[in-house]
Structure 1
Amino acid sequence: MSNHTTRRKFMKKGLMGVVAGTAIATSSPYASAAPSAKEDPFHLGFAGYTFVHFNLEETLEMIKKLEVNFLCIKDFHLPLDANAETIKAFHAQLAASNVTGYAVGPIYCRTREEMDRAFEYAKRVGVDLIVGIPLHEDLAYLDQKVKQYNIRFAIHNHGPEDKLYPNATVTVNLIKDLDTRIGLCFDMGHNIRDGHDPIADLKKYKDRIFDIHLKNVTAAAAEGKTCELGRGVIDIPAFVKMLRKVKYNGKVSLEYEKDMKTPLQGISESVGYYRGVVDALG
């Protein structure tokens, strides 16, 4: 049976939790996807890049409507040179929408000075996780930094176009002998675009996966594009099952890169689908 047939059957028989409020089931672009009744050790969040075209107020308005409570902070919402007063006001603004900034990044660390700045930024912001992209030649320096700050660093894999970290296997092989506070921000969509199975790799590399960019793509090939979570080639129910099997306890943050100037309908559908999967799997 094909993956597409399996997904269609799953949707027909089991997805009671794809709530009426998702954008696929309503004409309202501001539909609210109700939170799942199933409590997992991992929590749904958003990767900040999803909202690259929106200021913080607009971003929080969308997140609040969907009742999602976690955000990986991007520097276009909180600058890398933000002072203590700005950071305090930022956290207060998030808290007013019942949102917690749990990590920062992705941050490109093309020099050691940029890496230094990333760690100082994370320290001031008050998070214990940086999502970033260091150079291979600076991995030993990164090893020193995580020891110095006791802040974890999750390297983001970016698919076949990325010559540094195209997939989970390349990334983990580069860091496997480094401090265990260096791990992976597992972008499952880019992973499959580079020809690797995201479900098998989640199982294989579970101990080094600190963060997940939840997404689906249109093809298991370089030309695959981000799409609504339930419409792509990745078997999301199987992925959720594996999250539970490996007892993943980090965040699962939706990164939506389709219709990025008008994302609300797509993220509403995706959040509703994800919560429906979680509920239907029981």
Structure 2
Amino acid sequence: MTLALTVGRRRFLGALAGGAFALTPRGTVAGMRRSAAAADGAVRLGVASYSLRNLSRADAIAAIQALASPWVNIKSFHQPYEGMPAELAEGRRAFERAGLQIVGGGTITLAKDEDDDIRTYFEYAKHSGMPLIVIAPIPEAMPRIERFVKRYDIQVAIHNHGPEDGFFPGPRDALEVIEGMDPRVGLCVDLGHTARTGVDVVEALAEAGDRVLDIHLKDLRDLAVKESQCIVGQGAMPISAIFRQLERMAYGGHVNLEYEIDADDPLPGMKESFAYMRGVLAGMKVEASIADR
């Protein structure tokens, strides 16, 4: 594909996404969610608040609203672990008052196979209104973590961190550890880190199947190089193929943008990333409607 065609396609996809949000009734929670659902279809695009780590909670909330996504996975920068139950509840309400739905929290490191340590984070999640915790555990703690999952009815999703991760470089490493566990124990597939392990990310999603409870999405110019992260749509990540695979799987979780670059001013790049992703989804809808005729 020529550069001109590539740029033209990206502008077209962005225009599709922009049109979908031109009439957003921003004054209502329901309006934001209806607009997001209409634009995103079966794939629900959310925000990992780690992307906004250098912003205060209030500024992070405003940024997420500007992205017109109602779904957020909260990192401790915006909901500190040390908060008392009442403080955590107030933090939860701050997101909810802004029309945002907390779909998870983390990544949380679980480095001890001890009840007291694990309980601390499940209590944190409970008071924060998190239905899911993205975790970076030690493998030997997983049976104990599973017991807390059953006790609290809170899902956990193991986050893979690529070749540098001594426990879970890719999704398959986590699948081996959680085999036979409760279905509420699953994976948060970080697509960027997965690609850096040298596997096909679409095949990795297909293999993980129903164990995929959450997804962190980022783009890389070079799928082997961590430092090559870029605005989604400007790299080599097969975004369209990923979304098509998620539709085939009837994936019911969220695809949370984890934008790790431009930490002091992330919003412009995040907006462009969302525009591209929504454009891809809009294009898929058009193709599906034509195929149904």
User: Which sections of structure 2, spanning at least 5 residues, go unmatched?
Assistant: 22-34, 286-293
- Please, which runs of 5 or more residues in structure 1 have no aligned partner? 23-33
Which residue of the partner structure matches residue 156 of structure 2? 153
Partners of 1:12 and 1:70 in 2: CA distance: 25
- Alignment-mate amino acid for residue 41 of structure 1: A
Cα 1:89/1:238, change in 2 over 3 Å: same
* Residues in 1 aligned to 2:14 and 2:229: alpha-carbon distance in whole angstroms: 22
Give runs of aligned pairs for residues 146-225 of structure 1, distance below 5 A.
146-225=149-228
Q: Does structure 1 conserve the Cα–Cα contact (< 8 Å) formed by 2:95 and 2:102?
A: yes
Q: Deviation string for 1:186-221 (max 9, x for gaps)?
A: 100100011111111111212100000011112121
Residue 228, structure 1, aligned to residue 261, structure 2: no
Residue 19 in structure 1 maps to residue 27 in structure 2: no
Task: Compute the displacement of 1:8 (Å).
Answer: 5.7
- Alpha-carbon deviations, 1:5-28, whole Å to 9, x = none? 996675377664143899xxxxxx
Partner residue of 2:25?
none
Q: Using CA pairs under 8 Å that are at least 6 residues apart, name the structure with larger relative contact order, 1 or 2.
A: 1
The structural deviation recorded for 1:253 is: 0.5
Alpha-carbon distance in structure 2 between the residues aligned to 1:182 and 1:35: 27
Partner amino acid, structure 2, of 1:109: L
Preserved CA contact (<8 Å) 1:159 1:222: no
Letter in 1 for 2:213: F
Tell me what 2:32 maps to. none
Alignment partners' CA distance in 2, 1:234 and 1:212: 14
Aligned AA (1:148): R
Aligned residue in 2 for 1:66 = 67
Does the CA contact (< 8 Å) of 2:157 and 2:186 recur in 1? yes
Partners of 1:58 and 1:132 lie apart in 2 by 25
1:25 corresponds to which residue? none
> Are the aligned partners of 2:92 and 2:129 in contact in 1 as well (CA < 8 Å)?
no
**2-structure distance, mates of 1:209, 1:108:** 19
CA change 1:6–1:233 in 2 (3 A) is farther
User: Percent of aligned positions with the same letter in both sequences?
Assistant: 31
How far has the Cα of 1:37 moved from its partner?
3.5
Corresponding residue for residue 271 of structure 2:
268
User: How far 1:53 sits from its partner (Å)?
Assistant: 0.7
Which residues of 2 match residues 93-132 of structure 1 at below 5 A? 93-111=94-112, 112=114, 113-132=116-135
Task: Give the Cα–Cα distance (whole angstroms) in 1 for the partners of residues 284 and 124 of structure 2.
Answer: 39
Paired residue total = 270
Alignment of 1:7-86 (within 5 A): 10-11=9-10, 16-19=15-18, 35=36, 37-38=38-39, 40-86=41-87
SS where residue 16 of structure 2 aligns?
coil
Give the distance between the partners of 2:127 and 2:37, measured in 1 at CA.
Answer: 33
Q: Once the two structures are superposed, what CA deviation does each residue of 1:242-276 show, in whole Å capped at 9, x if it has no partner?
A: 11111101011100011111111110100111111
Say whether the 8 Å CA contact 1:229–1:274 is kept in structure 2. Answer: yes
User: Secondary structure, in 3 states, of the residue corresponding to 1:108?
Assistant: strand
Runs (4+) of structure 1 moved beyond 6 Å?
none
The one-character-per-residue Cα deviations of 1:153-205 (angstroms, maximum 9, x if unpaired) are 10000011111111111111111122222100010010001111111111121
Question: Equivalents in 1 of 2:5, 2:204: separation in Å?
Answer: 21
CA 150–256 in structure 1, closer or farther in 2 if over 3 Å, else same: same
Q: Is the 8 A contact 2:40 2:278 kept in 1?
A: no
Q: Tell me, in whole angstroms, the C-alpha distance in 1 between the residues paired with 2:261 and 2:68.
A: 21
Matches of 1:202 and 1:8, distance apart in 2: 28
TM-score (norm 1): 0.87
Does the C-alpha gap of structure 1 residues 58 and 163 become closer, same or farther in structure 2, counting only changes over 3 Å?
Answer: same
Partner of 1:240: 243
> Relative to structure 1, is the Cα distance of residues 276 and 85 closer, same or farther in structure 2, using a 3 angstrom cutoff?
same
Contact 1:66 1:271 (8 Å CA) reproduced: yes
